[in-house]
Structure 1
Amino acid sequence: MTTRAVPFHCPYCGDEDLRPHGATHGTWECRACLRAFSLRFVGQLAPGTTADRIQGQQ
C-alpha cells in the first residue's frame, strides 16, 4: 500500500484538478471550486459486513 493515495475527483464539484494542500497528510485542494478538504482511510470491512452490523444494529 502506498503512503499517499490520490483522490481522482473533488467530492464537492467532481473536477479532477486536485493538488496536495499544505503539509498535513490527506489534505487536498480543488483548483476548480477552490475548496480544501481532507480524506482519511478508516479500514477495510469483512465481506458481507454493513454499517448497521458494525454499530450493533441488525
Structure 2
Amino acid sequence: MSRVVPYHCPYCGDEDLRPHAESKGYECRSCARVFTVRFHGLAFDEAPTPSAIPAPEEETGDEPH
C-alpha cells in the first residue's frame, strides 16, 4: 500500500513538506504545522436520466453558420 504525498501545505501553500513519524502525517517546515491527508472515497453522482440531459437545439436554417 502506498501513500500519496501532498505537494503543498493546506495552510500556507508552501512546498517544504517532510514526513512526520509521530503522527504518520506531514510537517510543513514553513509554518510548523503538522497535518495528515485522508482519502474518504470517490464521489460519483447517479447517472443522469435521459430527461435530465438537455437536448441539442435544432437548426432552423435561418441562422448563419
Q: Give TM-score, length-normalised by structure 1.
A: 0.68
CA root-mean-square deviation:
1.7
Task: Work out which structure has the larger RCO, using CA pairs closer than 8 Å and 6 or more positions apart in sequence.
Answer: 1
1:22 CA displacement: 0.7
The aligned length equals 46
Q: Give TM-score, length-normalised by structure 2.
A: 0.61
Matches within 5 A, 1:11-50: 11-22=10-21, 24-25=23-24, 27-46=25-44, 48=45
Q: Which runs of 4+ in 1 moved over 3 A?
A: none
From the CA coordinates, give the structure whose radius of gyration is larger.
2
The superposition leaves residues 32-57 of structure 1 with CA deviations (integer Å, 9 ceiling, x where unpaired) of 111101110000111x36xxxxxxxx
Letter matched to residue 21 of structure 1: H
Instruction: Tell me the percent identity.
Output: 54
| Partner Cα distance (1:16, 1:29) in 2 | 11
Note the residue ranges of structure 1 that are not aligned, 5 or more in a row.
50-58
The superposition leaves residues 1-56 of structure 1 with CA deviations (integer Å, 9 ceiling, x where unpaired) of x611010100110000001101554x10000111101110000111x36xxxxxxx
Letter matched to residue 31 of structure 1: R
